[in-house]
C-alpha cells in the first residue's frame, strides 16, 4: 500500500463542509477526525470564538463540531459563525467584531484552518497545497481579486509556501478522470452550499498518463444555502412577523424586509446578534400588532440557537430527498413551529434557483461550443447533487446512463490532493 505524501495536501474549503486529503499513490487519503466516538471526514465549516477568561486575552477559536458544541454549551460567551466563506469576495464585508477584537475574512479563515490542523494532529501543514475555489464566488457582486488576496493572506499566515488555486469542478474532474479508460469530454457539476460551478474538460489517456484540456467554466452563487433560505422564508419567517407592520408618526408601515432576508441566510444570521439590531427590532415590536411574533424573532436571535435552526432545516431538506412529505418541528427560545413539508412545495419554492443553475450549466456548454450530445460523461458532486429536482436538471439534458455521482462530499478534496502531489500541480491551477 502506498504511503501518503505528507509534503502535499489538498483542502476543499467549502461553504458548508471542509475536507482535507493527502496524495497516496494513485489515490488520496481523506483526513479523519474523531470526537466523542464519532468519526468525521467532512467537517462543518463553522467557527466559534469563546470569550477569553484572561483579561485582554484573544478570543479562543474552535472549528467544526467542537465549535458547534462550544456554542450549544455557552451561547452567551460564544460568537458563532457559519457559511462565512460567503464573505470572501464581498467588498462590503471589511471585518466583524468578536467581543473586543476585530477579525477580517482572512483572520477568520486562518483561525478556522489552524484549529482544523490541530484536530488533525498535524504539527504543521505541508508546504505544498492545492486548495479549491469556486468558479464564481457567492454574493451579489463578488470581487474575485479581493477573494484571492484574502485567501493568499490567510494561507501565508498558516505557513504554506507553494499554493495552487484549483477550480473546484476541475479538482472533481481530476478525481473522476482516474477511473476513465478512454478519452472523454466531461461536464463536471459541483453543487455545494454556496455556489454551483461547472467545468467542461476534454481528457485524453495516453502512455499511462492523463492529459486534460479545459474547454469552458461557468458558475453562480446559488446552491444549497439558497434552498435553506426558501424553507426559512416560507415556513419559519411568517411565524416571526415577516408580514408584520408597525406604526410610525401615525402611519402604518411594513417591517423592513431586510431583517428577514438576513435572518434567512446562514452567513448573515450569525451577524444579527448585535445590540443595535436587537434594539431596532424591539422598537418596531412596541408599535406593532404582531408584537408577540417580532419578540419571538428577537428571542430566537438573542437565544443563540441559529445552529439548531440550521440543523432542523438541513434535516428537513435532506429528508425530502427520500420522502414526499416530512415533518418540521422547531421548538426553542420561546419559538414553537410545527408542520409538514412536502416536496412539491419545496420544489416550487426553489424553482427560480433551479432555473438559474440550469442556465449556468447550459452556459458552460455554450462557451465550449458543444451540445449535450457531445458530452461523454456528466459527473455530479457536492451535497446539493442529492436533491431530486437538481438531479432532474441533468436528466432533462443528458441520457441517464451518462450521469455519474460518487463520493459527493470527498471528491474535490481527493482531486486536490492528487493535484498537489503531481509533478506539475500548477498546470491545473486557475
Which tens digits make up the pLDDT trace of 68-112?
999 888 888 899 999 999 999 999 999 998 988 999 999 999 999
Structure confidence at residue 1 (pLDDT): 47
The CA distance from 310 to 331, in Å, is 13
Determine the pLDDT at residue 275: 86
Task: Give CA angle at 169 (168, 175), nearest 5°.
Answer: 95
CB neighbours of 39 closer than 8 A, spacing ≥ 6?
Answer: 32, 33
pLDDT band, residue 5 (cuts 50/70/90): low
Mean pLDDT of 200-204: 95
Domain 8-167+413-428, architecture per CATH: 2-Layer Sandwich (3.30)
pLDDT(208) > 80: no
Neighbours of 184 (CB within 10 A): 16
The number of C-alpha atoms within 13 Å of 160 and in the hemisphere containing its C-beta is: 24
Instruction: Say if residue 351's pLDDT is above 50.
Output: yes
Q: What is the mean pLDDT of residues 58-71?
A: 94
pLDDT digits (tens, 9 = 90+) for 154-176: 999 999 999 999 999 999 999 99
HSE at residue 345, side-chain half, CA atoms within 13 A, is 13
Structural class in CATH, domain 183-223+351-405: alpha beta
pLDDT at residue 271 greater than cutoff 80? no
Q: Where are the domains of the chain?
A: 8-167+413-428, 183-223+351-405, 225-349
In the block, cell 450521469 appears at 403
Q: For residue 56, how many other CB atoms are within 10 A of its CB?
A: 6
Beta-carbon neighbour count of residue 358 at 10 Å? 17
Residues 6+ apart with CB under 8 A from 41: 19, 30, 31, 32, 33, 409, 410
Q: Residue 239 in contact with residue 309, Cβ under 8 Å?
A: no
The CA-atom distances, in angstroms, between 246 and each of 69, 137, 210, 215, 249 are 38, 37, 64, 54, 10
Does 257 score more than 60 pLDDT? yes
pTM equals 0.91
Distance of alpha carbon 225 from alpha carbon 383, whole angstroms: 11
User: Which value, to the nearest 10 degrees, does the dihedral of the CA atoms of residues 93, 99, 101, 104 take?
Assistant: -20
Determine the Cα–Cα distance for residues 310 and 228; give it in Å rounded to an integer.
8
- Is residue 174 classed as helix, strand or coil in its secondary structure? helix
For the segment 279-286, the average pLDDT, to the nearest whole number, is 95
What pLDDT was estimated at residue 209?
76
Q: Return the pLDDT at 3.
A: 56
Rounded to whole angstroms, how far apart are CA atoms 330 and 292?
17
DSSP letters spanning 260-307: HHHHTSHHHHTT--SHHHHHHHHHHHHT-TTHHHHHHHHHHHHTT-HH
Longest dimension (CA), the chain: 80
| Residue 146 in grid coordinates | 479581493
Q: Do the two domains 8-167+413-428 and 183-223+351-405 of this chain adopt the same fold?
A: yes
Amino acid at each position: 500500500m502506498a504511503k501518503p505524501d505528507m509534503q502535499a495536501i489538498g483542502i476543499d474549503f467549502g461553504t458548508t463542509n471542509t475536507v482535507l486529503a493527502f496524495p497516496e499513490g494513485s489515490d488520496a487519503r481523506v483526513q479523519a477526525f474523531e470526537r466523542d466516538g464519532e468519526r468525521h471526514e467532512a467537517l462543518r465549516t463553522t467557527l466559534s470564538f469563546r470569550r477569553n477568561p484572561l483579561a485582554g486575552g484573544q478570543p479562543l477559536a474552535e472549528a467544526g463540531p467542537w465549535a458547534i458544541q462550544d456554542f450549544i454549551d455557552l451561547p452567551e460567551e460564544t460568537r458563532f459563525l457559519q457559511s462565512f466563506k460567503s464573505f470572501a469576495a464581498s467588498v462590503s464585508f471589511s471585518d466583524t467584531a468578536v467581543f473586543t477584537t476585530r477579525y477580517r475574512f482572512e483572520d477568520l479563515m486562518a483561525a478556522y484552518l489552524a484549529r482544523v490542523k490541530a484536530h488533525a494532529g498535524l504539527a504543521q501543514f505541508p508546504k505544498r497545497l492545492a486548495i479549491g475555489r469556486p468558479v464564481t464566488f457567492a454574493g451579489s457582486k463578488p470581487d474575485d481579486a479581493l477573494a484571492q488576496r484574502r485567501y493568499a493572506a490567510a494561507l501565508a499566515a498558516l505557513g504554506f509556501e507553494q499554493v495552487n488555486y484549483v477550480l473546484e469542478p476541475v479538482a472533481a474532474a481530476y478525481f473522476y478522470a482516474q477511473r476513465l479508460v478512454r478519452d472523454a469530454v466531461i461536464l463536471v457539476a459541483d453543487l455545494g452550499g454556496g455556489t454551483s460551478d461547472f467545468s467542461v474538460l476534454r481528457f485524453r489517456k495516453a502512455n499511462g498518463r492523463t492529459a486534460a484540456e479545459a474547454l469552458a467554466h461557468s458558475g453562480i452563487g446559488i446552491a444549497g444555502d439558497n434552498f435553506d433560505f426558501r424553507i426559512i422564508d416560507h415556513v419559519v419567517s411568517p411565524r416571526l412577523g415577516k408580514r408584520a407592520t408597525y406604526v410610525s408618526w401615525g402611519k402604518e408601515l411594513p417591517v423592513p424586509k431586510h431583517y428577514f432576508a438576513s435572518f434567512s441566510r446562514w452567513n448573515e444570521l450569525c451577524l444579527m446578534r448585535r445590540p443595535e439590531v436587537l434594539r431596532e427590532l424591539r422598537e418596531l415590536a412596541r408599535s406593532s400588532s404582531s408584537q408577540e411574533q417580532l419578540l419571538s424573532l428577537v428571542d430566537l436571535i438573542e437565544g443563540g440557537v441559529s445552529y439548531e435552526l440550521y440543523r432542523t432545516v438541513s434535516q428537513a431538506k435532506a429528508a425530502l430527498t427520500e420522502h414526499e412529505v416530512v415533518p418540521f418541528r422547531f421548538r426553542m427560545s420561546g419559538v414553537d413551529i410545527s408542520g409538514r413539508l412536502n416536496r412539491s412545495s419545496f420544489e416550487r419554492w426553489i424553482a427560480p434557483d433551479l432555473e438559474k443553475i440550469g442556465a449556468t450549466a447550459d452556459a458552460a456548454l455554450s462557451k465550449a461550443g458543444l451540445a449535450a450530445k457531445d458530452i461523454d460523461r456528466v459527473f455530479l458532486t457536492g451535497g446539493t447533487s442529492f436533491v431530486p429536482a437538481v438531479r432532474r436538471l441533468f436528466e432533462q439534458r443528458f441520457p441517464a446512463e451518462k450521469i455519474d455521482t460518487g463520493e459527493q462530499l470527498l471528491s474535490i478534496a481527493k482531486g486536490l490532493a492528487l493535484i498537489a502531489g503531481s509533478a506539475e500541480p500548477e498546470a491545473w491551477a486557475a
